[in-house]
Chain A
Amino acid sequence: MNAYVVTVATLVAIQSIVACGLNVVVGYAGQISLGHAAFFGIGAYASALLTTKAGLTFWTALPLVIAITGLVGLLLGIPSLRVRDDFLAITTIGINFIVEAVFLYVPFFGGALGIGGIPRVTFFHVKMKGLPYLYLCLAFLALVLLVCRWFTRSWAGLACFALREDETAAASMGISPVRFKLLAFVLGTAMAGLGGALYAHFMRFISAGDFSFPVSVMLLSMVVLGGMGTLWGPTLGAVILVSLPELFRPLLEIRFLIYTLLLLLMIRFQPGGLLGEASLVRRVFSRLMPGKEAPR
């Protein structure tokens, strides 16, 4: 594999991790979020600061990074207890702008210059770059997918699904809306934190613009495109949305036009996402391999 392909693949793996986290919030618990990039950024900045300023290694910083992001996710998840749907979407957009502004204007976070000189991840004294780093990201992605799979089969996952379907009915079944919305926010933002840390040590230079509102839109597009609430959907969405702009690179300006058109077509014809219920992919799969369940 040449370096370019490895770079794109690494970004796909990182974005998949972050999109999986968003899927926990949006797909499993039904809480719309258009500010997920904020948590991606919090993870990246936390890891960057802990390794450059506090002198920790990636591995010792990682548990802290995940804890910090999850904790901030818990605090910023509180609005979701009071507002719903469009209002929650707007609130989460606001969170994204505030977090980005903090990174941009507070000198501690490097201001407009961002943070540079972020060390590479070392693994048994070997500096990881290129292919080994891709494998590391894929290993973390596998871990995230396992956690998602476990979550969807747990009682907590069932409680989140019930909340997504009908909050009132769920509450009268003894499911606490507060507890499970916040649980989904913590789990989802912690995954974003992990993705952020991997991103920081891959790029080795980060600035506030990397985690701006359009990134949140892109992440939500990945989840919607792949199929909200499915296991593999966010990863598939990340593969498509990260690699398509690369494939269309020769088309220069109009590549985003094509990209937008694809999204619109998806919304019109496959609202459940590529791996959603009764989607084209699932129907083709069941025709090709009768009796076998398509991946979800």
Chain B
Amino acid sequence: MNKVLYIKSHCKIKNNELFFNNKSIFKDNESTDLKSFLKSSYKFLNLKYGKFFKMDSLSKLSFLASEIIFQNTKIDTKNIAIVFSNNASSLETDRKHQKSINKIDDYFPSPAIFVYTLPNIGIGEVSIRHQLKSENAFFVFNKYNADFHTVYENSLINSAKADAVLGGWTNVDNDTNYEAFVYLVSKKGTIEHNKKKLNKLYKKL
């Protein structure tokens, strides 16, 4: 029989604000674009990780959300699977890449941009940062699919593929249309990991 699992902690990033367990931890009233907000969030979290600045916005968003979870949650395993989803895939970066190859007489695709034209690269960045060599997957849905996430994340832990799962929705379309809702699922906690609770937490976003 499958065990009941729990949401150990959760975070949200939206409208220039960072939340951990529903509590606002940082609000940026200065930045007028996503790049600036992500940089000020990086500084707020006191990170020293130069590679951050080479990432695209989706990877930065996924990275920061994961940092908030791992900085504030005690967890004694590295066998943490990652299951993210969104609806814009890597569209923001795809557009930048397209712009660099639109004109045949000005055709200079940037390798540094091209490597981020897949949404799951952000998972790779989080895995490198935290030395996670675990199961991971990135799905593209029309909207946040709590039902799918619940089943998939439960399955990973109940089948012993992972001890915990970092799950969530990390989406970037443009400077104003972005959001992250990331949570840690484990065998211990206070909020039951199910469709209803995930939807409730996500809708507070």
B is bound to A: no
Residues of B within 8 A of A (CB): none
Residues of A within 8 A of B (CB): none
